[in-house]
A and B are shown apart, each in its own frame.
Chain A
Amino acid sequence: QLQLQESGPGLVKPSETLSLTCTVSGGSISSSSYYWGWIRQPPGKGLEWIGSIYYSGSTYYNPSLKSRVTISVDTSKNQFSLKLSSVTAADTAVYYCASRIVVVPAAMPYDYWGQGTLVTVSS
């Protein structure tokens, strides 16, 4: 069974770049069976999809965040990462990494989630 764990700084200054890593266990990041993604949730608010990546490197981003987001895979560490540039207080949120299975030709939602990590943007 897949397990995902987020890690990274809990505090980021405005205008800087937020960087988080998701470590995957119980499965390979290089597997063609999964997509990997990031979702965030501001305190007391709803969920927002940030983007996702396939083992091949193909990425899909939320259009509202696309100009600031980069998601990448590190196969040697079985990890994938999120970088969000030029952050403001509005980017303060719990950030979740998640996975969804590939079922050709259908699509599937995210079914494995990390526990989430709170990132606060403040000087």
Chain B
Amino acid sequence: EIVLTQSPGTLSLSPGERATLSCRASQSVSSSYLAWYQQKPGQAPRLLIYGASSRATGIPDRFSGSGSGTDFTLTISRLEPEDFAVYYCQQYGSLFTFGPGTKVDIK
């Protein structure tokens, strides 16, 4: 089983700032089958990024993903008020596993 670790656990930032979230896998994620989801309280997760760097339909271009192998990054270039949420990475190359999440909260 591929185990995903996310850091930091919590990121406290102000609107307009840049957010950089990390996801590390215990072994290489095949074909960069790595996704990022955003989840707000009481809502289902929303797919942001798939294939490590492709934005899902309707996702603003301030969200970008990068990385390969075992190290992946989600970057939010300028935080909007609606971006404060929990973000999960997920690998889907070998069944499915999720990381524990990074909470982005308002500083």
Chain A residues in contact with chain B, CB under 8 A?
Answer: 37, 46-49, 52, 60, 62-63, 96, 98, 100, 106-111, 113-116
For the complex, is B67 an interface residue (Cβ under 8 Å from A)? no
Chain B residues in contact with chain A, CB under 8 A?
Answer: 1, 31, 33, 35, 37, 43-47, 50-51, 56, 88, 90, 92-93, 95-101
- Tell me the total A-B contact number using a CB cutoff of 8 A: 53
The DSSP consensus for interface residues of chain B is loop
The DSSP consensus for interface residues of chain A is loop
Q: Which of A47, A48, A60 contacts B45 (CB 8 A)?
A: A47
Q: Which of A46, A96, A108, A109 contacts B100 (CB 8 A)?
A: A46
A120 to B4, CA, bound (A): 27
Q: Using Cβ atoms and an 8 Å threshold, which residues of chain B touch A48?
A: 98
Contact call A111/B56, Cβ cutoff below 8 A: yes
Given that A63-B1, A111-B47, A114-B44 are contacting pairs, would A46 and B90 also be in contact in the complex, using a CB cutoff of 8 Å?
A: no
Contact call A60/B95, Cβ cutoff below 8 A: yes
